[in-house]
Amino acid sequence: MGLFHPFRDYRRKTLGQQPFPSDWSQIIDRNVPFYQCLHPEEQVRLNHLIRVFIAEKYFEGCGGLSITDEMKVTIAAQACLLLMNMNHDYYEWLVTILVYPASFNFQQEERGTMAGTVTVTHRPVSGLSSNRGTVVLSWPDTAAGARRPGDGMNVAFHEFAHQLDQLNGAMDGTPDLDSTAKYQEWVQVLGSEYKRLQEAVETNRPTLISAYGATKPAEFFAVVTELFFEEPIELQHQHPALYKEFKQYYRQDPAERLRECRLR
């Protein structure tokens, strides 16, 4: 695979040197309000990431949906915001983004306590992330998440956070970190916050973090990622240690960015 890296790197560099398409800028202005809060140099960096992401990933419409540039750019902008300051290789395990015209049914099998018993359930979902190189998104939910920043819910952030989580081989809520010390701190802080959320859910206490985050550590990481970018000031205020861990991981400070944006 290394033989292809020089060509890949050259293509990525070439894409970065090309003007960002004006119609893509219009899509971002229309669909991605968080873009306006980025500093000019961050916008340039994100534009480059979007160019490469769209060039390297395969988008496929499902259920009769035809893929448009609006879908590609809106999805890519959200996916690439997560990568903006990280050392990364553009979600290297991700190959395909499947896009549905609405929420879709997810079939889940659960084995019972008795040998041979399996319960099959179907539930509507707005997104899925697979360890087989695929992200699945509902276009209406993805567009709504992009257009309504600040409501704490963003299916694209959620599913692409899962992709980052699994880069070290397991989707377990602990992504690839730089050092043993960072792993230890991450496990301590997130383990404590995860337990705190589970206790709040069990006692029906209101929480900033969605109850869905209490189902498993991988969902906790994805749900908190949504909050980190959607409601950063509230997350920093209510969960400062948790915010610090995500700030170090994503190498961004969206709370400070949002404060500055409000003062403009």
Alpha helices in the chain, H assignment, sequence order: 5-17, 22-31, 40-56, 69-83, 139-147, 155-165, 180-202, 217-230, 232-238, 240-250, 254-263
Residues 48-77: b if buried by 16+ CB within 10 A, e if exposed: bbbbbbbebbebeeeeebebeebbbbbbbb
* Amino acid 210: pLDDT: 96
CB-based contact 151:230 (threshold 8 Å)? yes
CB-based contact 74:27 (threshold 8 Å)? yes
CA distance 43 to 183: 31
* Amino acid 107: pLDDT: 61
Q: For 2, which DSSP code?
A: G
Report the chain (264 residues): mean pLDDT per 10 consecutive residues.
Answer: 70 89 97 96 96 96 97 98 95 96 73 52 80 94 95 96 94 95 97 98 96 97 98 98 98 97 88
Distance, CA of 127 to chain centre: 11
Write down how long the chain is.
Answer: 264
CA distance 162 to 134: 11
* Amino acid 1: pLDDT: 40
Residue 255's identity, in one-letter code, is A
pTM of the model: 0.91
CA distance 78 to 5: 25
Q: Structure tokens of 112?
A: 């019972």
Alpha helices in 32-97, H assignment, sequence order: 40-56, 69-83
* Amino acid 180: pLDDT: 95
Give the closest residue to 80 by CA, choosing from 99, 65, 94: 94
Residue 110: Cβ within 10 Å count: 9
Domains, the chain, with CATH or none? 17-110+119-263 (3.40.390.10)
* Amino acid 131: pLDDT: 85
